[in-house]
Amino acid sequence: MGKNIYIDIKLFATLRQFSPDNAGRFAINRGMTIRNLIKTLGIPDEKARLIFINGVKGDLESTLYGEERVGIFPPIGGG
Q: Residue 69 in contact with residue 54, Cβ under 8 Å? A: yes
pTM of the model: 0.91
What are the φ and ψ backbone dihedral angles of 75, each rounded to 5 degrees? -60, 140
**DSSP-derived secondary structure letter, 18:** G
Query: Which pLDDT score, from 0 to 100, does residue 79 have?
Result: 53
In a domain, 51, yes or no: yes
In a domain, 78, yes or no: no
Give the CA distances from residue 29 to residues 20, 42, 47, 78, in Å, rounded to whole numbers and listed in that order.
16, 17, 23, 36
Q: Residue 36 is part of which domain span? A: 5-73
In a domain, 79, yes or no: no
In a domain, 48, yes or no: yes
Strand-by-strand arrangement of the 5-11 sheet: 26-28, 5-11, 69-73, 50-53, 56-58
Q: What is the pLDDT along the chain (79 residues), one digit of tens a residue?
A: 457 899 999 999 999 999 999 999 999 999 999 999 999 999 998 999 999 999 999 999 999 999 999 999 999 865 5
